[in-house]
Amino acid sequence: MRNIKLVIEYDGTNYLGWQRQPQGATVQEVLENALEKITKQQAIVSGSGRTDSGVHAIAQVANFKTRSKMTPLQFQKSLNSLLPKDIVIKEAEEADLDFHPQFDAKSKTYLYRILNRHYPSALQRDRAWLIPDSLNLFQMKKAAELLLGQHDFRAFARSKRSAKTTVRRVLGVSLERKADSVFEFEIESTGFLKGMVRLIVGALVQVGKGKITSEDFRRILESGERTPFVRSAPPSGLFLKEVKY
């Protein structure tokens, strides 16, 4: 038995997320079906995390176990020839038999893109959140920096029941203005709660609009209480950027 590690890029627009669902296409299902065609054996592909419907990945990490004698490069080429154009295998390599992309991960980094201008983009319509209102980047950065360190993020959890604890450690945050009126928010953590990044971004946008202050953001974080200002950002702007081991 061999363990093959994959690094995958995908546009999540046409998928109901990573994990297999009873109805509707998912990235995991498409990959498993392609592998079954290649190896003539049923394959189980495990990912580093379950991206939601419409969320993208720059470098999702996954693995599968196989008795096939194909090389990692052959797997990469064969999969890319069968997969739809919105899923691409960037890397394939042999891994230790006990490697698991989720349980062995030390941290993950998510990227969220905001398009801050008064007109939409034909090319970025499914890859950024269009906000026509003026945003105060300085105040948003002040609020974002409050996320650093270990906190109870229950105010930014879509569901508290799916996690043993809502405490997470944030290792890094950044919020920068890029070209073409794009803001890019990045957050690295040892773990994320369901919906956490999108809820954080939604609250940061409220800071940027002047609806709440950075101190209000701090109080929300420390109290753990969801308020009307903690609103989920759309999935289209979110990317799983990196997984570290």
Domain borders along the chain are 2-95, 107-244
52, 86, 96, 133: the catalytic one is: 52
Question: Which of these, 171, 223, 169, 228, lies nearest to 203 by C-alpha position?
Answer: 228
Q: Are the folds of 2-95 and 107-244 the same?
A: yes
**In CATH terms, is domain 2-95 a member of 3.30.70.580?**
yes
| Phi, psi for residue 235 in degrees, rounded to 5 | -70, -25
Q: Which residues pair with 238 in a beta bridge?
A: 112
Alpha-carbon distance 173 to 178, whole Å?
Answer: 16
Give percent of the chain above pLDDT 90.
93
pLDDT at 162 over 70: no
User: Per CATH, which fold does 107-244 belong to?
Assistant: Alpha-Beta Plaits (3.30.70)
Whole-number pLDDT of residue 224: 87
Token pair 């498993």: residue: 32
Residue 216 CA: distances (Å) to CA of 25, 111, 205, 229: 40, 24, 13, 10
Give me the mean pLDDT over the 160-169 stretch.
82
Q: Return the minimum-mean-pLDDT range out of 52-66, 110-124, 220-234.
A: 220-234
The maximal CA–CA distance of the chain, rounded, in angstroms, is 59
Whole-number pLDDT of residue 161: 63
pLDDT at 158 over 90: no
Whole-number pLDDT of residue 186: 98
On whether the CB atoms of residues 145 and 91 are closer than 8 A, the answer is no
Alpha-carbon distance 10 to 17, whole Å?
Answer: 10
Mean pLDDT of all residues in the chain? 95
Q: Which pLDDT tens digit goes with each residue over 1-40?
A: 999 999 999 999 999 999 999 989 999 999 999 999 999 9
Banded pLDDT at 163 (limits 50, 70, 90): confident
- Clarify whether 52 is annotated catalytic: yes
Planar angle of CA 171, 169, 60, nearest 5 degrees: 70
Q: Which pLDDT tens digit goes with each residue over 98-112?
A: 999 999 999 999 999
99: left (phi over 0), alpha (psi -120 to 50) or beta: beta
Q: Rounded to two decimals, what is the model's pTM?
A: 0.95
Banded pLDDT at 131 (limits 50, 70, 90): very high
Give me the mean pLDDT over the 125-150 stretch.
97
Question: Which of these, 68, 61, 71, lies nearest to 38 by C-alpha position?
Answer: 68
Whole-number pLDDT of residue 160: 62
Give me the mean pLDDT over the 156-181 stretch.
89
